[in-house]
Structure 1
Amino acid sequence: MFEQKRKYIILIIVASFLAAAFYNGLVVRTYDVSTDKLEAGQSLRIVLLSDLHGYSYGKEQSALIDKVKEQEPDLIALPGDMLDRNRPPDAAFDLIKGLEGYVPIYFVTGNHEIDESDDYVRHDVKNVFRSHGVIVLENEAETVTINGIDLIIGGAEDPLRTYAEDLYGSWEQDVLTALADVDTDETFSLLLSHRAEQVEIYAALPFDLVLSGHAHGGQVRIPYLMNGLYAPDQGFFPKYAGGLYEHETFDHVIGRGFNYRISVPRIFNPPEIVVIDVIGTGTPP
């Protein structure tokens, strides 16, 4: 009898472990970022959605849209790869349609929005997104007021757009030329840029918060031991797989994405909606 109970306990433990490891339901992860560029008592909630890769959550993205709205964001940031070069664009377009008019949405291209062979934006994604009110940033920054807070929001287009042969050299120079002189001394600023690993470039820019994707959470995680096994353009054991990274001059939040494929399972790495609460610590003028 004791031996049989032990087998049942082992089976339950193994089943629970596997269920947790391969869980693929949407989760919400929240990070707090403080800044003295906002007054104490002021706050801004950003929802970061990266690397959809054409995956659908419910009819016309209803489950994903409902989950996003539950977070009550002030703005939504899309740092690329909402489309996938091997899937139709409908899922990404359904998401944008469903969120149209809800809160300001900002987007920059990722590598999957670009056709590598012909060097053009796939499925005219920029114009489709713009037709539904999305602000598409192309190596530029703009000053806006959201929730009564003045912000500078910048965006760096993915380097694959024009630099497939020399992926980062000319891109770095163009990004620095376009964005390095943005005046962010007194205004909180955030930058959307798809590539998680380009930290040295982001450190040379004046932005307080950088939002990225691309790393897919390292695909395989071991909680508390390994943050990621493999990420594009970083290889094995990536340094920047996903989460909040605090650098000397800026904070960097990397979304783990919310694409799911049975053929490439995510292990201890469920699809995630990222919520970033920017919290003011400054004194009133």
Structure 2
Amino acid sequence: MTKDITRRAFLKGLFASLAGALLAAFGGYGYARYIEPRLIHTTEIEISSTKLPSSFSGVKIVQFSDTHLSEDYSINQLEKIVNKINLLSPDVIFFTGDLIDKPNQYAYLHQISPVLGRLKAPLGKYAIYGNHDHGGYGTSVYETIMKDSNFNLLKNRGERISLLDGSSVFVAGIDDMMLGRPDFDQTFADAGSRLFTILLAHEPDAALEAKQFSVDLQLSGHSHGGQVQLPFYGPLITPPYASVYTEGLYEVDSMKLYVNRGLGTTRLPYRFFSVPEITVFTLIKI
């Protein structure tokens, strides 16, 4: 009788454990597939510098990145992002690349510009190329979409963002490190060491070269924060040029680097412990 009770208890415990494991597995799958990819976290960061003009103190920058429009990230989701960014009342908007996952296969190209065109920023909207923007014969497609959306597409060049009092900061955009033709010397040809300088570089590991120039802040995406992370371990895998810097804020010599986790997914439509992100930077003169 005791053996039967012990055996019954053991089997009951084993069944409960297996059932729990299956529920956790399927629950984890459902969360990673359908819940976390649709979440949006807004990260707010103050960037302070003595190089900033006083009139730029309080200027608000919004960065978004890596939408990877596809069957898994729809135009409707992009519309929600646009509405959310406009509610943040940015002065400047930066998009750091990878608009469409596969440009040559995407059936709704004509719907993108009317949505992105609704983004409002009085000091300008700027964008750069990511690897997916060049891939799939997408180079000219992306250029046309961003131009029609009133984005200033920076490709190995920079320009000043100026206020009415004549004060300015410099924003530069490097071409994609993987599929483009990045040229750092050309990108910073018009920059001055006294100007507060922001670099938009899709791949975060571009910082290893950018730190040799007078860059104060680099904004990147590309990594998706690994897209899938394990607690106490971190990202399972990161893409090329995102192995040194994967997410969040870094100090790279005298330069600050922020790696945005992006909004969409690529290869697999999952996110786990890597919530999609919009970043808000407030400039502070010190």
After TM superposition, is the score higher than 0.5?
yes
Structure 2 gap segments, 5+ residues each: 1-15
Inter-partner Cα distance in structure 2 for 1:90 and 1:240: 35
Deviation at 1:140, TM superposition (A): 0.9
Q: CA deviation at 1:248?
A: 1.6
Equivalent residue for 1:264?
269
Residues 50-102 of structure 1, C-alpha deviations (whole Å, 9 max, x = no match): 11111546637331112112222111111111122253445643442221666
Partner of residue 255, structure 1: 260
SS at match of 1:231: coil
2:280 aligned to which of 275, 281, 284: 275
Q: Which residue of 1 aligns with 2:171?
A: 153
Tell me how far apart the structure 2 counterparts of residues 160 and 260 of structure 1 sit (CA, whole Å). 18
Shift in CA distance, 65/226, structure 1 to aligned 2, threshold 3 Å: same
Question: Is 1:115 paired with 2:115?
Answer: no
Change beyond 3 A, Cα 1:194–1:126:
same
Residue 43 of structure 1 is matched in structure 2 by 58
Which consecutive segments of 4 or more residues in structure 1 shift more than 4 A?
A: 17-22, 55-58, 100-103, 146-149, 160-163
Which piece of structure 1 moves more, 20-29 or 64-73? Answer: 20-29
Please give the TM-score of this superposition, normalised by the length of structure 1: 0.76
The alpha-carbon deviation at position 213 of structure 1 amounts to 0.8
**2:59 is matched by which residue type in structure 1?**
L
Secondary structure of the 2:51 match is strand
How does the TM-score come out when normalised to structure 2?
0.76
Q: Residue 193 of structure 2 corresponds to which residue in structure 1?
A: 184
1:87 corresponding residue in structure 2: 106
Cα distance between partner residues in 1 of 2:60 and 2:74: 23
State the match for 1:221 in structure 2. 229
**Conserved? CA contact 2:114–2:149, under 8 Å:** no
Are 1:207 and 2:224 matched, yes or no? no
Q: Is the 8 A contact 1:181 1:206 kept in 2?
A: no
Give the superposed CA RMSD: 3.3
Kept after mapping to 2: 8 A contact 1:20/1:268 = no
Answer yes or no: is the 8 Å Cα contact 2:126–2:152 preserved in 1: yes
2:33 aligned with 1:28: no
Return the match for 1:63 from 72, 75, 80.
Answer: 80
Which position in structure 1 is the counterpart of 2:5? none
Q: Larger strand proportion, structure 1 or 2?
A: 1
Percent of counterpart pairs with the same letter? Answer: 24
SS of match in other structure, 2:113: helix
